[in-house]
């Protein structure tokens, strides 16, 4: 794909980093699954970094635009069972935010889109999400489309600010409450 893109002598207008993999798995079931962590990092972090390192000169030619499809979890207190996914999505979010000032001086614009739950095949394996409120993929496409011309730096749901506030303000009580919630869940499943 990079070989093809480098044939575009005029440069590149937009890169949307969307491909991703998620894994919801307790630590107890991950002890022999190191590959879960390497494969989430490979797709959610190393792949977009590798693509962008190669594409930055092409984007610079056109005052281009990078749109990262991220998750609200990257801005919230990490939650159990999602360590592989959250760590890898947060890694790329941090990389892009760190690179952003250097991209800006090359006139490359960056948009980070922090999505809540979206009704796509990604959430199908998680039973609890089947009835949870979720955005439609069409709505997400509209947000990405809008970002293409508004060039806004960040999209996040309006209510996320309360989650971010709670993540900071209640970090200590949540560290006390969350293990108890997990213990209750594991007891109900008969795992403890």
Ligand X SMILES: NC(=O)c1ccc[n+]([C@@H]2O[C@H](COP(=O)([O-])OP(=O)(O)OC[C@H]3O[C@@H](n4cnc5c(N)ncnc54)[C@H](OP(=O)(O)O)[C@@H]3O)[C@@H](O)[C@H]2O)c1
Binding site for ligand X (CB under 6 A): 18-22, 43, 69, 71, 89, 115, 117-118, 120-123
Find the shortest distance in angstroms from Cβ 146 to ligand X. 16
| Active site annotation includes 34 | no
Candidate list 45, 81, 85, 114, residue with the active-site label: 85
The strand order across the sheet containing 65-71 reads 14-17, 65-71, 109-115, 154-155
Taking the complex as a whole, the smallest distance from the CB of residue 88 to ligand X amounts, in Å, to 9
Whole-angstrom distance, CA of residue 90 vs CA of residue 95:
8
Phi, psi of 120 (to 5 degrees): -130, 170
Q: Which residues of 89-105 are buried (b: 16+ CB within 10 A; e: fewer)?
A: bbbbbebbbebeeebee
Nearest to 16 by CA among 130, 143, 177: 143
Based on CB atoms, which residue is closest to ligand X, 19 or 53? 19
Question: Could you tell me how many helices (H) and strands (E) the chain has, helices first?
Answer: 7, 4
Q: Which is nearer to ligand X, 65 or 89 (CB)?
A: 89
Please, which residue, 14 or 60, has the CB nearer to ligand X?
14
What is the nearest approach in angstroms of ligand X to the Cβ of residue 80?
A: 18
- Residues labelled catalytic: 85
């Amino acid at each position: 794909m990079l070989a093809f893109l480098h044939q575009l002598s005029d440069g590149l207008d937009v890169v949307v980093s969307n491909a991703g993999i998620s894994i919801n798995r307790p630590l107890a079931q991950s002890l022999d699954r190191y590959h879960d962590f390497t494969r989430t990092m490979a797709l959610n972090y190393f792949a977009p970094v590798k693509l962008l390192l190669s594409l930055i000169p092409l984007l610079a030619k056109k005052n281009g635009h990078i749109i990262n499809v991220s998750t609200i979890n990257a801005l919230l207190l990490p939650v159990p069972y999602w360590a592989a996914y959250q760590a890898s999505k947060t890694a790329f979010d941090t990389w892009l935010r760190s690179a952003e000032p250097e991209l800006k001086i090359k006139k490359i614009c960056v948009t980070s889109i922090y999505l809540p739950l979206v009704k796509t095949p990604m959430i199908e394996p998680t039973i609890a999400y089947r009835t949870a409120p979720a955005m439609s993929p069409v709505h997400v496409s509209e947000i990405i489309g809008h970002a293409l011309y508004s060039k806004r730096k960040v999209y996040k749901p309006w209510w996320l600010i309360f989650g971010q506030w709670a993540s900071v303000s209640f970090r200590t009580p949540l560290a006390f409450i969350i293990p108890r919630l997990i213990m209750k869940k594991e007891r109900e499943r008969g795992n403890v």
